[in-house]
Amino acid sequence: KNQVEQSPQSLIILEGKNCTLQCNYTVSPFSNLRWYKQDTGRGPVSLTIMTFSENTKSNGRYTATLDADTKQSSLHITASQLSDSASYICVVSPMDSNYQLIWGAGTKLIIKP
Amino acid sequence: DTAVSQTPKYLVTQMGNDKSIKCEQNLGHDTMYWYKQDSKKFLKIMFSYNNKELIINETVPNRFSPKSPDKAHLNLHINSLELGDSAVYFCASSQRGGVNEQFFGPGTRLTVL
């Protein structure tokens, strides 16, 4: 069964610190893996999209990595800001479906001043 | 200059009623989606339309009926609302295909009393 699991479920860090969020998936084969940021009360916003052949992709202070062999991805946030408080969701697109996405439950990140 | 818009943002109604949620995108995308996000925060796809043609129809009660009058609009009509329908419903759009980034609307919070 195609699954995407994220850890930790929630994380609290101080402003200015770095953090890393994890994503393990069983979707195989897959065409791409995405990280979304969802602010409370808003729709998800795409941070990065990596194809199966990419290892890393950055978007400002966000850096996503992908290890297709171990089926793991991580999202590293550098020098966190209060506005980074949100849920971060890992999403995998199966190769055999052009429209279907498999969503993780997300990691809820809280940045404290 | 809103990219994907939904109305209404909040919807409170009684069990048994029929209601509609409207979605419009001005991005020129071919594909539109409806997602349901329940209290556990999982995003589950309900429907996907490509150029007004139904592509994905997940296991959703037939009380839910999407309608796409043109490729810029995808409305969701729900008949005989039940308590379990309470959730946040998100509309999204993308260029054709799951490899492309999906852009989400702000969500409609539906509460069934």
Record: contact A99-B44, CB cut-off 8 A: no
Best-predicted range by mean pLDDT (B42-51, B61-70, B97-106):
B61-70
Q: What is the mean pLDDT of chain B?
A: 90
Nearest to A43 among B44, B50, B90 (CB): B90
Tell whether the model's pLDDT for residue B11 goes beyond 90.
yes
CA–CA–CA angle B37, A84, B29 (5° rounding): 50
A10 touches chain B (CB under 8 A): no
The distance of Cα A98 from the centroid of its chain, to the nearest Å, equals 20
For the segment B3-31, the average pLDDT, to the nearest whole number, is 95
As a whole number of angstroms, the distance between CA B21 and CA B33 comes to: 13
Which residues, 6 or more positions from B82, have their beta carbon under 8 angstroms from its beta carbon? B15, B63, B112
Min Cα distance A104 → chain B (Å) is 7
Looking at residue B63, its pLDDT comes to 94
Structure confidence by residue, pLDDT tens digits, B58-93: 778 899 999 999 989 999 999 999 999 999 999 999
Give the mean pLDDT of B18-26: 97
**CA of A97, closest CA in chain B: separation in Å?**
7
Quickly state the pLDDT bin for B1 (edges 50, 70, 90).
Answer: low
| pLDDT < 70 positions in chain A | 98-99
Interatomic CA distance for residues B21 and B76, integer angstroms: 5
Distance CA A75, CA A58 (A): 9
Taking only the tens place, the pLDDT of each residue in A8-21 is 999 999 999 999 99
B112 φ/ψ angles, rounded to the nearest 5 degrees: -105, 125
Give residue A52's pLDDT. 87
Q: Report CB contact under 8 Å: A101, B45.
A: yes
- Under 8 Å between Cβ of B3 and B102: no
State the pLDDT at residue B99.
67
Arithmetic mean of pLDDT, B38-54: 84
Task: Measure in Å the smallest separation between the Cα of B107 and chain A Cα atoms.
Answer: 6
Find all residues with CB under 8 Å of A100, minimum gap 6, and list them.
A93, A94, B45, B56, B98
Q: What three-state secondary structure class fits B103? A: strand
Given this model, what pLDDT does residue B98 score?
59
